[in-house]
Amino acid sequence: MAKTERVIAAPPINPETKPFWDAAARGKLLIKKCLACGELHYYPRANCPFCFSDRTQWQETSGRGTIYSYSVMRRAPVPYAIAYVTLAEGVTLMTNIVDCDLDAIRIGQKVELVLKPSNGGPPVPMFTVR
């Protein structure tokens, strides 16, 4: 029988990104907001990649979004869907679409946050079709 669970690589954590993973452990997806220019960004950085201010703040997201693009990886022990999802907040991030029929995934579908355990690390934010 084929393997049915993909092993999810544990994200390396550093002091700059620890709050993100602590929040993920609580079921939350955080992005960063710059207090100087007002832009939201992802992946999170201490310094705003738009205006370079160091006045960046963590912001909790709605966990809702839309599939911008995706690709189902067929040549893998367990096929999986990689995607870019545009959050309701307007920021687009890389993720996996899980817990659904991979053949039914489409660009434009509405998705919501789920946290999936990683291999020896914190849970990782992923999305499922709403």
Q: Supply 104's token pair.
A: 């039914």
- Closer of 91 and 113 to other proteins (Cβ): 91
The conformation of residue 55, written as its DSSP 8-state character, comes to -
> Interface with other proteins includes 37 (CB under 8 A)?
no
In the complex, minimum distance from the CB of residue 82 to other proteins, in angstroms, rounded to a whole number = 5
> Interface with other proteins includes 10 (CB under 8 A)?
yes
> Interface with other proteins includes 3 (CB under 8 A)?
no
> Interface with other proteins includes 51 (CB under 8 A)?
no
Rounded to an integer, what distance in angstroms lies between the CA atom of residue 9 and that of residue 85?
A: 20
In the complex, minimum distance from the CB of residue 117 to other proteins, in angstroms, rounded to a whole number = 10
DSSP for 97-122 reads E-SS-GGG--TT-EEEEEEE--SSS-
Pairing status of strand 110-116 against strand 124-129: antiparallel
Q: Are 118 and 124 in contact (CB under 8 A)?
A: yes
Binding site for other proteins (CB under 8 A): 6, 8-14, 16-17, 21, 31, 39-43, 45, 49-50, 68-76, 80, 82-84, 86, 90-96, 107-108, 118, 124, 126
